């Protein structure tokens, strides 16, 4: 019994170390990677007594880390006691998917939650013995539109090195990476911020909770804005519905005729109005907010964020390619960075509006104007970075949040991570 406990502790420690050190990179080249180290104990396409083996069994003892073969969305499947055991799929673009079976984790006890976005090389589980399995291995399956795809040179006895390319390419992405906005993070003071999940749950750090979790909305929650004194906030749904709490007044919403979906909002400094923006760059103004322009042409990707100038006289629109469009008295201070590995998802201006930062899904930060670069590209992120918020007290600093609620603070206090939800932030 004591040996079993020691082994369990050692295994847990090895898992924890792997979770920190495992590399994860966006996949611009299109190649699927091998998910684990080991030796092929079962080849793809070989005949079995009752079926044709649809995947590659990669065996190794002790339990081995399993990584995502390519960028995609996690889809946990019901436990299959007589076959796959505990297994999940990662769904990729173009009808491709990869399957990882006989995992130690399960749908009710996952390492990565159902619906999470993962990056090629990200740790998603560990090998175990369950389902139709007589020894430690991961059953790795590749399918395109449901049809089995067998990688070359993976016969029985072949040594596999994890996190190296297989012979299969699903094609390099030809269109900008998709972005699904969540409610995000919003700095409310020198030592406080508020999170909003894609289901409208509100988490206030160091005070400032005024309500949340509304019902009857359409789509998901994609943004929020806090009033100037922190006494209230607005929540915005992807259908343009606005929910006002505390001292935040409702000034209108639910526009019609927009393209794609509503993705972001920005509030006036007098708290008496706001603008919202669609993924197509259309802008809708309410209350004291004036329409300054929108619907630009020639952009790449889709629009992901809108931010207001300090006096409310203008605003910036941001695309997932990092392009910035300035309207009214908003100054164009730079944009369209190069070298980022994931789509740009959010921006946030300095208090005086003379600078701003933008952030990618990988947490890469690009600073413009008087906004200094204070850090970015954090390691060990579960999911992906979804939002960034600049300090509001004139001190330089910002905090970013991941889709699973992890906070990464630079030049500003780290206050904790929310629990009880796997929704996108």
Alpha-carbon distances, residue 365 vs 113, 319, 382, 425 (angstroms): 26, 15, 18, 18
pLDDT the model gives residue 192: 94
What is the percentage of the chain residues whose pLDDT exceeds 90? 73
What is the percentage of the chain residues whose pLDDT exceeds 70? 91
pLDDT the model gives residue 11: 40
Look at residue 389 and tell me whether its pLDDT is greater than 70.
yes
Average confidence (pLDDT) over 55-75: 93
Question: Using one digit for the tens of pLDDT, what is the confidence trace for 272-319?
Answer: 999 999 999 999 999 999 999 999 998 988 999 999 999 999 999 999
Two structure tokens written together for 168: 């299969």
Q: Kindly compute the dihedral angle of the four CA atoms of residues 23, 29, 31, 34, in this order, to the nearest 10 degrees.
A: -10
Look at residue 320 and tell me whether its pLDDT is greater than 60.
yes
Look at residue 46 and tell me whether its pLDDT is greater than 50.
yes
Give bridge partners of residue 159 from the DSSP assignment: 39
If one counts every other C-beta atom within 10 angstroms of the C-beta of residue 20, the result is: 9
Under 8 Å between Cβ of 164 and 374: no
Look at residue 2 and tell me whether its pLDDT is greater than 70.
no
Q: How confident is the model at residue 157 (pLDDT cuts 50, 70, 90)?
A: very high
pLDDT the model gives residue 28: 65
Look at residue 6 and tell me whether its pLDDT is greater than 60.
no
Q: Does residue 2 sit in helix, strand or coil?
A: helix
Question: Using one digit for the tens of pLDDT, what is the confidence trace for 258-272?
Answer: 988 999 999 999 999
Task: Count helices and strands (H / E) in the chain.
Answer: 1, 31
pLDDT the model gives residue 180: 84
Selected residue with higher pLDDT from 192 and 50: 192
Question: Using one digit for the tens of pLDDT, what is the confidence trace for 244-258?
Answer: 999 999 999 999 999
Q: How confident is the model at residue 27 (pLDDT cuts 50, 70, 90)?
A: low
Q: Where are the beta strands (DSSP E) in 238-354?
A: 242-246, 262-267, 273-278, 283-287, 303-308, 314-319, 324-328, 344-349
pLDDT the model gives residue 422: 53
Q: What is the CA radius of gyration of the chain?
A: 23
Look at residue 356 and tell me whether its pLDDT is greater than 70.
yes
Q: Give just the sign of the alpha carbon dihedral 154, 156, 158, 163.
A: positive
Look at residue 13 and tell me whether its pLDDT is greater than 90.
no
Selected residue with higher pLDDT from 198 and 173: 198
Q: How confident is the model at residue 19 (pLDDT cuts 50, 70, 90)?
A: very low
Question: Using one digit for the tens of pLDDT, what is the confidence trace for 322-348?
Answer: 999 999 999 999 999 987 878 999 999
pLDDT the model gives residue 173: 66
Question: Using one digit for the tens of pLDDT, what is the confidence trace for 88-119?
Answer: 999 988 789 999 999 999 999 999 998 888 88
Under 8 Å between Cβ of 80 and 74: no
**CA 74 to CA 76: how far, in whole Å?**
6
Burial environment of residue 385 by CB neighbours within 10 A (0 to 12, 13 to 18, 19 or more): buried
Q: How confident is the model at residue 409 (pLDDT cuts 50, 70, 90)?
A: very high
If one counts every other C-beta atom within 10 angstroms of the C-beta of residue 286, the result is: 20
């Amino acid at each position: 019994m004591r040996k079993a406990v020691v082994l369990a502790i050692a295994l847990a420690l090895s898992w924890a170390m792997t979770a920190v050190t495992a590399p994860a990179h966006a996949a611009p080249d299109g190649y699927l990677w091998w998910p684990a180290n080991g030796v092929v104990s079962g080849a793809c396409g070989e005949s079995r007594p009752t079926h044709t083996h649809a995947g590659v069994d990669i065996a190794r003892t002790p339990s081995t880390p399993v990584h995502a073969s390519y960028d995609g969305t996690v889809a946990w499947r019901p436990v299959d006691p007589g076959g796959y055991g505990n297994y999940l799929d990662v769904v990729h673009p173009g009808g491709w998917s990869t399957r990882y079976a006989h995992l130690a984790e399960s749908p009710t006890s996952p390492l990565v939650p159902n619906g999470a976005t993962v990056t090629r090389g990200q740790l998603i589980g560990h090998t175990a013995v369950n389902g139709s399995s007589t020894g430690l291995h991961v059953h790795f399956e590749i399918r395109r539109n449901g049809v089995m795809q067998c990688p070359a040179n993976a016969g029985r006895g072949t040594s596999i090195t994890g996190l190296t390319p297989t012979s299969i390419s699903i094609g390099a992405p030809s269109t900008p990476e998709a972005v699904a906005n969540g409610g995000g993070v919003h700095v409310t003071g020198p030592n406080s911020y508020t999170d909003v999940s894609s289901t409208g749950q509100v988490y206030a750090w160091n005070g400032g909770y005024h309500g949340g979790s509304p019902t009857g909305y359409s789509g998901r929650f994609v943004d929020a804005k806090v009033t100037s004194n922190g006494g209230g906030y607005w929540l915005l749904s992807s259908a343009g519905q606005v929910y006002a709490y505390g001292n935040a007044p409702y000034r209108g919403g639910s526009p019609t005729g927009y393209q794609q979906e509503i993705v972001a909002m920005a509030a006036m400094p007098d708290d008496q109005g706001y603008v919202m923006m669609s993924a197509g760059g259309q802008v809708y103004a309410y209350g004291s907010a004036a329409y300054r322009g929108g619907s630009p042409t020639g952009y790449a990707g889709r629009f992901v964020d809108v931010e207001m100038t300090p006096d409310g006289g203008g605003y910036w629109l941001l695309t997932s390619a990092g392009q910035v469009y300035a309207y009214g008295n908003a100054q164009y201070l730079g944009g369209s960075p190069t070298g980022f590995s994931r789509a740009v998802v959010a921006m946030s201006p300095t208090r005086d509006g003379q600078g701003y930062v933008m952030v990618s899904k990988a947490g890469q930060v690009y600073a413009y104007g008087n906004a200094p670069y204070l850090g970015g590209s954090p390691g060990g992120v579960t999911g992906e970075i979804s939002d960034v918020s600049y300090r509001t007290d004139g001190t330089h600093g910002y905090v970013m949040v991941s889709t699973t609620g992890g906070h990464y603070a630079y030049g500003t206090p780290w206050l904790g991570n929310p629990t009880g939800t796997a929704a996108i932030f």
